[in-house]
Amino acid sequence: MMISRWIKPDTKLYVSLNDISRSLDWVFEFRPLLFFTIWTMMAAGLSAFKGDTIDEFYWTTTVHWPLFLTFFGITLIACSSALRGDDSGTEKLTLILLIAGFVIVLSSVAMEAVEAGKMSRIFAVGAWVSIFYVSWRLYLKHWKKLKNEKMIMSISLSALPGVSLFMIGWHLGGGKILGGMLASAPYACGFIAVTLLWPLSVQAEKLHHRDFMNGITRVIGFGGILMTISIFLGYRMGDPVISTAAIITIPFFAVALVVTRAEHIIRAFRYPIMILAFFVSVRYPWLCLAMFLNFNAIRLYNYFRHGVIRPTLKVSYD
């Protein structure tokens, strides 16, 4: 990161910025790193519907404020689901964010629904937002334990958030539930394949990048199968976004399966969501801008607060 070359940890300016960063600790209780996944899956649902109904749908730069308000509302709901703690202050903030998020989402969707004469869209989006909140909160609460549970439990807890986010985007575009469920299948397979690796990736980050990990081939192999299914379904459905993203992603699973080093596990977890976001951004370039701003804001905070440059796509430190 360029700024780390200009402002070293032993300078007075760094110390001042460290104090400012400390005052932002409460913001990062919302786990903004998870926004990458949330925004990408929602935009993927919207992209899939538009790509299915509009020929040669690429690079739309139209500013659509109700859509951005909906994304903002979902982000608030995601913040609410990410908060941890049983004290009254945390519980109060969790409830405020949840209510505010729902009000913003339903209000922005209502503006579109009234204009289009499709009031049922409000109920569809509201239902999927509720499913997302409950399932995502459960997943974030129990994801560390999932590597010790049966795989069916991991699949169940990780599938619902991914599908619900996709369906929110699908309904925002104007799609019906049946078509959306079918279109979500390849995305759900890819989402599950990646989230299965989350506990393994966290474990791998604590090791040297060339250390081998034992007892993980079953999870990686199953993830690779799901990613292969994602390729097949995406191709059969004529969805170039997910099929291409999955094709590029599958080698990371293959390498991690053959050579179970920590670095390969981390790559198989980190890279797929960025690859999918890149292809979705070909249709919605504002997603790339939002992720760029979020990515660099988190990096700046982590550098000035903890002296580390994260998040990063780099996994080897020779």
pLDDT on residue 318:
52
Alpha-carbon span 309 to 298, nearest angstrom = 9
The DSSP call for residue 310 is -
- Structure confidence at residue 147 (pLDDT): 62
Could you tell me if residue 84 is left (phi over 0), alpha (psi between -120 and 50 degrees) or otherwise beta? beta
Cis peptide bond upstream of 311, omega within 30: yes
Rg, the chain, Cα only: 20
Distance CA 43, CA 7 (A): 36
Q: Distance between alpha carbon 212 and the CA centroid of its chain, in Å?
A: 27
Query: Residue 285 contacts by C-beta under 8 Å, 6 or more apart in sequence?
Result: 59, 61
d(CA 285, CA 277): 10
Q: What is the dihedral of CA 215, 218, 223, 226, to 10 degrees?
A: 180
Concatenated DSSP letters for 73-141? HHHHHHHHHH----SHHHHHHHHHHHHHHHHHHHHHHHHHHHHHT-THHHHHHHHHHHHHHHHHHHHHH
pTM for the model = 0.94
| Whole-number average pLDDT of the chain | 93
Q: What is the maximum span of the chain, computed from C-alpha positions, in angstroms?
A: 61
Nearest to 243 by CA among 48, 106, 68: 48
For 119-177, write each residue's pLDDT tens digit: 889 999 999 999 999 999 999 988 777 666 677 778 888 899 999 999 999 999 999 99
SS (H, E, C) 31-89: CHHHHHHHHHHHHHHHHHHHHHHCCCCCCCCCCCHHHHHHHHHHHHHHHHHHCCCCCHH
Would the pLDDT of 117 be above 80? no
In this prediction, residue 149 carries a pLDDT of 63
Q: Is the pLDDT of residue 218 over 70?
A: yes
pLDDT given for residue 153 in this prediction: 79
pLDDT of residue 148: 63
Q: How confident is the model at residue 4, as a pLDDT?
A: 86
Quick check: helix, strand or coil at residue 172? helix
Mean pLDDT of 7-22: 94
Calpha distance 37→270 (Å, rounded): 11
